[in-house]
A and B are shown apart, each in its own frame.
Chain A
Amino acid sequence: MESSYVTLLSLIVFLPSAAALILTFFPRDNTEAMKAFSLAATAVVFLLTVIMALPGEGSWNFDISLAEMQKIFSISWIPAFNIRYYMGVDGISFPLVLITTFICMLSMAASWSINKHVKAYCILFLILETGILGVFLSLDFFLFYVFWEVMLLPMYFLIGVWGGPRREYAAIKFFLYTLLGGVFMLIAILMLYFASDLKQLSDGQLIAAHAVSSHLDAAEQAKEIAQLRSQADPVHTFNILALQQLGQHTAVFSDTILWGKSLQWWAFLLLLLGFVIKVPSVPLHTWLPDAHVEAPTPISMILAGVLLKLGGYGILRICYPICPQAAYDLAYFVCALGVVSMVYGGFAALAQKDFKRLVAYSSVSHMGYVVLGIAVWSLGMWSVDGKQFNADAWKMGVNGAMFQMVAHGISSPGMFFLVGVIYDRVHHRNLNQFGGLFAKMPVYSGIAIGIFFAGLGLPGLCGFIGEVLVTLSAWPYSRALAVVSASVVIITAAYILWTLQRVYLGPEYKGPHGDHLYPMTGRELAIAAPLLALAVILGVYPQAVFRYMTPSVDRTVDDLAAWTRAVEESPSRSVTQSEPPRHESSVATESLSQKD
């Protein structure tokens, strides 16, 4: 069983790298073959994830009835530091993995216009894909960090070599920001590792965290646990699930270390810093417009569609569950980060003259919803008379944030690709010099309007669901935040409609290179059409995504809600040992579908 999971997840992660290795032996001038080979590699990886997504009983099929991690395997790697080659997938990571492989395939298909150093481009592209998928699937914090940093190098070169005129500046800026975040994250990881102690966990928690192999029978597990407990020194761990258990059920991270703040407070802040740089949240977003604008179109698609999601994923998977006390104390701060990004990104987008820059700032604004949705740690989880406790609003927020990530992973690569299509023809992106494209490129303009409306959040398209769920969930927590986040929709509508008007409507195109405005090619259509189709499908049938992710999201929120309840009920607000809560994900799913 375990070996089958090892094969599956390792294939998904390392197949692109293996393809990159094979590419090094390709003859230098056969660029067409290299591109085709890379596309085939990304397509195979996509197919693997599609096989996982299909319903079925096989060991490779993702089981939507399970809220826990599945396809888990854990192999000893560096015993000296208790580091393991440890991966698994659940409803939080799986939709993101799926969107990653999908967007990578599409952007590889969009890379045919790359004609400079094709071999290096394809190799770096494939290594990048390995890095991203590795981050989503790792359950060992060290492994997670390695993949996180491995993404940087190919991204630096992809922007710096194949980018626009200010590519070198944009590339180093991207690198510096992310490395800074990475270093802070590394410090936090080491702090958590040093404070962790597996012996503090109960037997059940150890098994739940897969700190002892779940593929053994009970007797062997008991033997392993006894062996673990017999050690004299604390047993440190990089196991993310075990760290979550330690954070929620023990007080190992609550020691005061510096300036009256606890270890988890500092760890949370450092981790958050690393993740919000990636999201990116204002004021750490300034790398993004530069990187997006200078990157070649396919890389912009990956940046916007996938890389930004890593930040949101990290906050949800790592920050909150491992450091709940700190998250609880800083809930308002994180919410504010999200809302400020939404508003600031929206206004900044309104002010742009460069088409691609506008799309970039719209990403800042849209990712703000993700941060807000995750962060609405509803203090209003108690009913008015203080007797009823439910975390429905928070669940809705996190589900909304997750959906927003998926939706943004479809709409924003689409937008970047569409900008790239006209840039290839007229070689400028100045919004004020467009107009009248509808007449010259009707199919293209139709698709563009559809995708831009999806970004706007028009009901019936994918952008709507996430935004509305997040806004609704913010209401019980803070009316002000909810009102502000709802109003952002107006700003979004303003810049998108104004853009559509300036680019596609109007009598005729008067800018430079007007004679090059030929209609969309088949290849371009083949990339844009699936994105539009998905935007529509997810807009009218969001359940397609929710059925994969809701059980796991609800379970995560339930765990944290149980922790919150314990904290609020105990007078000293100290963490108490509590049993894992029961999971009533089906109820939550129903409540979600009603609200749709």
Chain B
Amino acid sequence: MSLFELTHSLASNTLTSLAGFQGELVLCATIVLILFLRIPKLTARIDSFYIMLAGSVAALYLAGPWHPVERPTELFTGLLVYDSFTVYFRTLLFFFAVLFAIFTRISGVPDRVAAPDAYVLVLGATLGMCIMASANHMLMIFLGVEMASVPSYALAGLLKGRRKSSEAALKYAVYGAGAAGIMLYGISLLAGVLGSLHLPTMAVRLADLLQPANLQQNIGTDTHMVLALGALMVMVGVSFKLAAVPFHFWCPDVFEGASAEVNAFLSVASKAAALALLARVAIGFGYIPESTVPETQAAMLSVADVPAAHDAQRAAAARPPLDRTAQIEALAPARDFLWRVVAFVAVITCTFGNLAAYGQSNIKRLLAYSTIAQAGYMMMPVSAAMVLAGSDPQAASAAMGSMAFYVGVYLFMNLGAFAVVAFLRNMLHSEQIADYAGLIRRAPVVVVFFSAILFSLIGLPPFAGFVGKLQIFYYLVNARLWTVLVIAGLNTVISLIYYLRVVKIMTMDPEPEQRTSTDMSFIPVTYVALVTLPLFILGIWWNNLTELATSAARQLF
């Protein structure tokens, strides 16, 4: 292939790819616009909130699920993949950006001066998260994680005057750098063995390596340990983004130091993207999707000759190439490894998060541990999907769908929870749970909705959190992961105590004698109500979202 041909095909590929990248492009334009408008005196007076809002609404419109995806296509020579799963998660992220903009406007943090910075950071991180959700290439995984993380470090330190805030930002940055380094090392190990960074190609190579004929003759078995190590190291990076145990230490401190608005962003958007990434990575190494990769692209992206892969590749070359069914079968050991790792981390994360939440007296710390536990629940269906992928791909995709569903519900739960925390902070000037005592007399509507959110987080009907958990539990039954199922069930009971403690303090404890605060005004109450209402609606009419989530996950398998 000559240089001209290469450039030409790259250019045409890029142009066609941009069609599937419109949402992200709009975000980029919005970022640039916000930054530029600050320079001239005349336009500096324009409130950046409106630009942020317009930008995210436009992105949502361009990337929403009303553009059906016929079949998955690869963008930018296979760096990203555009399928219904991408669309689903991008929709969530853009929708969250819209809600988030309105939220910050009402709560007043960041203030008008800091708003352009904060919005740029949020949009930049969202862009990174979109890349995480649609990553099809190890390089993009790393880039996406970093693009999402670096603005988050700055966001954590948004409250410049507060020591705690700066400390949180530093802690987050140091942790993030460490995790990124380990992840990069893991990626290099995997690339070294498999000779590619393109996920589907890596899966095909892995299937060749793991095919029964090779295993019997002990070909390539010396690389297995390296592969496992590489996979674990990539998991470290993903776990850091997920705040999964044991890479969760940053989470409570950052949540305590950062403002509730930033917490909402970190706990919803960041977690959603990390879960999508987990699904991508798990499927990338455990399954060969139906859409096969065009040979030229795979050739362009792969490293031609890698020493470590020598033996295996030479041996594999001698044999006829495997067909897809055989490849999927050959990947069984990889799936076994993956589901065990994911299930183990999920169970530990969930249990630890719930137990650690007990002793918290600061509501943001409590919610931080709660998000850790929730991440545990949301990882479980990924593990179930890995169990099911070999025998019943349809059930496996539905399991991934249950994860997508829960993420959709989780958006409202955590956004609502942090919105309440932020509004109560404005009202009471406190984030201690004890200061919420007897709040029901002062702000009955908000307390009722906050209680509904907390009950939904526990997973009680008729709230949407229950439906999400029900579906996750169902796929655990389907995959016969009894231990995980029972632990998840017991965790629900454990979590009851600390969520309920908050409700109890708000509703049953006597109001302190001298509470000087004013009542909450109409607009914040309306916002909380609007964010909580979907929890009631989705708790009863959840068919549409289920079908949306399931069809989003269908193209993964």
Query: What is A's interface to B at a CB cutoff of 8 Å?
Result: 77-81, 145-146, 149-150, 152-153, 156-157, 160-161, 167-168, 172, 175-176, 179-180, 183-184, 186-187, 190-191, 193-194, 257-258
Chain A's closest residue to B509 (CB) is: A168
The residues of B that contact A152 with a CB separation of less than 8 Å are: 460
The residues of B that contact A190 with a CB separation of less than 8 Å are: 470, 473-474, 477
| In the bound complex, CA of A149 to CA of B485 (Å) | 19
The residues of A that contact B497 with a CB separation of less than 8 Å are: 172, 176
**A160 with B504, Cβ < 8 A, contacts A186-B489, A194-B474 known:** yes
The residues of A that contact B500 with a CB separation of less than 8 Å are: 156, 172, 175
Rounded to whole Å, the gap between the CB of A258 and the closest CB of chain B is 6
Rounded to whole Å, the gap between the CB of A550 and the closest CB of chain B is 34
Query: What is B's interface to A at a CB cutoff of 8 Å?
Result: 455, 460-462, 466, 470, 473-474, 477-478, 480, 482, 485-486, 489-490, 492-493, 496-497, 500, 504, 507-508, 542-543, 546-547, 550
Rounded to whole Å, the gap between the CB of B457 and the closest CB of chain A is 14
Most-contacted residue by chain B among A150, A168, A187 (CB, 10 A)? A187
Rounded to whole Å, the gap between the CB of A154 and the closest CB of chain B is 12
The residues of A that contact B507 with a CB separation of less than 8 Å are: 157, 160-161
Rounded to whole Å, the gap between the CB of A295 and the closest CB of chain B is 14
Q: Determine whether the beta carbon of A145 is less than 8 Å from that of B461.
A: yes
| In the bound complex, CA of A77 to CA of B547 (Å) | 13
**A150 with B461, Cβ < 8 A, contacts A79-B543, A80-B547, A161-B507 known:** yes
**A193 with B485, Cβ < 8 A, contacts A78-B546, A146-B462, A153-B460 known:** no
Q: A81-B474, A172-B497, A176-B493 are in contact. List 7 more A-B contacts (CB 8 A).
A: A77-B543, A78-B542, A79-B543, A80-B546, A145-B461, A183-B489, A183-B492
| In the bound complex, CA of A156 to CA of B451 (Å) | 13
The residues of A that contact B546 with a CB separation of less than 8 Å are: 78, 80-81
Main secondary structure of the interface of B (DSSP, over half): helix
Checking B460, B477, B480, B547 against A149 with a beta-carbon cut-off of 8 angstroms, the contacting residue is B460
| In the bound complex, CA of A78 to CA of B482 (Å) | 26
Rounded to whole Å, the gap between the CB of A161 and the closest CB of chain B is 6
The residues of A that contact B547 with a CB separation of less than 8 Å are: 80
| In the bound complex, CA of A81 to CA of B468 (Å) | 13
The residues of A that contact B504 with a CB separation of less than 8 Å are: 160, 168, 172
The residues of B that contact A153 with a CB separation of less than 8 Å are: 455, 460
Checking A80, A156, A183 against B543 with a beta-carbon cut-off of 8 angstroms, the contacting residue is A80
| In the bound complex, CA of A194 to CA of B478 (Å) | 7
| In the bound complex, CA of A179 to CA of B542 (Å) | 23
Chain B's closest residue to A192 (CB) is: B477
The residues of B that contact A160 with a CB separation of less than 8 Å are: 504, 507-508
| In the bound complex, CA of A516 to CA of B508 (Å) | 30
22 sampled A-B residue pairs with Cβ under 8 A: A77-B543, A78-B542, A78-B543, A79-B543, A80-B543, A146-B461, A146-B466, A149-B461, A149-B466, A150-B461, A156-B500, A168-B504, A176-B493, A179-B492, A183-B492, A186-B473, A187-B473, A187-B486, A190-B477, A191-B477, A193-B474, A194-B477
The residues of A that contact B550 with a CB separation of less than 8 Å are: 80
Rounded to whole Å, the gap between the CB of B491 and the closest CB of chain A is 9
**A161 with B508, Cβ < 8 A, contacts A80-B546, A187-B477 known:** yes
| In the bound complex, CA of A81 to CA of B545 (Å) | 12
The residues of B that contact A193 with a CB separation of less than 8 Å are: 474
Rounded to whole Å, the gap between the CB of B393 and the closest CB of chain A is 13
| In the bound complex, CA of A149 to CA of B463 (Å) | 11
Rounded to whole Å, the gap between the CB of B545 and the closest CB of chain A is 10
Rounded to whole Å, the gap between the CB of B76 and the closest CB of chain A is 35
| In the bound complex, CA of A176 to CA of B546 (Å) | 29
Rounded to whole Å, the gap between the CB of A451 and the closest CB of chain B is 33
**What 5 pairs between A and B have smallest CB-CB spacing?**
A183-B489, A146-B461, A80-B546, A190-B477, A78-B543
Q: Determine whether the beta carbon of A168 is less than 8 Å from that of B490.
A: no
The residues of A that contact B482 with a CB separation of less than 8 Å are: 257-258
Chain B's closest residue to A172 (CB) is: B500
| In the bound complex, CA of A153 to CA of B492 (Å) | 15
The residues of A that contact B486 with a CB separation of less than 8 Å are: 187
Rounded to whole Å, the gap between the CB of B65 and the closest CB of chain A is 16
Chain A's closest residue to B478 (CB) is: A194
The residues of B that contact A257 with a CB separation of less than 8 Å are: 480, 482
Rounded to whole Å, the gap between the CB of B503 and the closest CB of chain A is 9
**A187 with B485, Cβ < 8 A, contacts A80-B546, A172-B497 known:** yes
Rounded to whole Å, the gap between the CB of B257 and the closest CB of chain A is 31
Rounded to whole Å, the gap between the CB of B529 and the closest CB of chain A is 13
Chain B's closest residue to A258 (CB) is: B482
| In the bound complex, CA of A77 to CA of B541 (Å) | 8
Chain A's closest residue to B398 (CB) is: A80
Rounded to whole Å, the gap between the CB of B3 and the closest CB of chain A is 52
The residues of B that contact A157 with a CB separation of less than 8 Å are: 507
Rounded to whole Å, the gap between the CB of B149 and the closest CB of chain A is 36
| In the bound complex, CA of A184 to CA of B493 (Å) | 10
The residues of B that contact A145 with a CB separation of less than 8 Å are: 461
| In the bound complex, CA of A187 to CA of B500 (Å) | 23
| In the bound complex, CA of A161 to CA of B470 (Å) | 30
Rounded to whole Å, the gap between the CB of A109 and the closest CB of chain B is 26
Rounded to whole Å, the gap between the CB of A81 and the closest CB of chain B is 8
**A150 with B493, Cβ < 8 A, contacts A78-B546, A79-B543, A186-B473 known:** no
Rounded to whole Å, the gap between the CB of A116 and the closest CB of chain B is 11
| In the bound complex, CA of A467 to CA of B547 (Å) | 52
The residues of A that contact B470 with a CB separation of less than 8 Å are: 186, 190
Q: Determine whether the beta carbon of B461 is less than 8 Å from that of A183.
A: no
**A179 with B493, Cβ < 8 A, contacts A168-B508, A186-B470 known:** yes
Checking B462, B466, B478, B489 against A187 with a beta-carbon cut-off of 8 angstroms, the contacting residue is B489
Rounded to whole Å, the gap between the CB of B1 and the closest CB of chain A is 46
The residues of B that contact A79 with a CB separation of less than 8 Å are: 543
Q: Determine whether the beta carbon of B460 is less than 8 Å from that of A183.
A: no
Rounded to whole Å, the gap between the CB of B249 and the closest CB of chain A is 29
The residues of A that contact B455 with a CB separation of less than 8 Å are: 153
Rounded to whole Å, the gap between the CB of A333 and the closest CB of chain B is 21
The residues of B that contact A186 with a CB separation of less than 8 Å are: 470, 473, 489
The residues of B that contact A150 with a CB separation of less than 8 Å are: 461-462
The residues of B that contact A194 with a CB separation of less than 8 Å are: 474, 477-478
The residues of B that contact A80 with a CB separation of less than 8 Å are: 543, 546-547, 550
Rounded to whole Å, the gap between the CB of B122 and the closest CB of chain A is 34
Chain B's closest residue to A119 (CB) is: B444
Rounded to whole Å, the gap between the CB of A170 and the closest CB of chain B is 12
The residues of A that contact B474 with a CB separation of less than 8 Å are: 81, 190, 193-194
| In the bound complex, CA of A451 to CA of B146 (Å) | 73
| In the bound complex, CA of A153 to CA of B507 (Å) | 13
Checking B460, B461, B462, B496 against A176 with a beta-carbon cut-off of 8 angstroms, the contacting residue is B496
The residues of A that contact B496 with a CB separation of less than 8 Å are: 175-176, 179
| In the bound complex, CA of A462 to CA of B164 (Å) | 68
| In the bound complex, CA of A77 to CA of B543 (Å) | 8
Rounded to whole Å, the gap between the CB of B439 and the closest CB of chain A is 14
| In the bound complex, CA of A152 to CA of B550 (Å) | 31
| In the bound complex, CA of A78 to CA of B546 (Å) | 9
The residues of B that contact A191 with a CB separation of less than 8 Å are: 477
| In the bound complex, CA of A156 to CA of B546 (Å) | 31
| In the bound complex, CA of A80 to CA of B471 (Å) | 11
The residues of A that contact B543 with a CB separation of less than 8 Å are: 77-80
Rounded to whole Å, the gap between the CB of A481 and the closest CB of chain B is 32
Rounded to whole Å, the gap between the CB of B492 and the closest CB of chain A is 5
Chain A's closest residue to B549 (CB) is: A80
| In the bound complex, CA of A168 to CA of B473 (Å) | 31
Rounded to whole Å, the gap between the CB of B192 and the closest CB of chain A is 42
Chain B's closest residue to A157 (CB) is: B507
Rounded to whole Å, the gap between the CB of A488 and the closest CB of chain B is 33
Rounded to whole Å, the gap between the CB of B474 and the closest CB of chain A is 5
| In the bound complex, CA of A191 to CA of B477 (Å) | 6
The residues of B that contact A175 with a CB separation of less than 8 Å are: 496, 500
| In the bound complex, CA of A145 to CA of B470 (Å) | 11
| In the bound complex, CA of A149 to CA of B462 (Å) | 8
| In the bound complex, CA of A339 to CA of B455 (Å) | 37
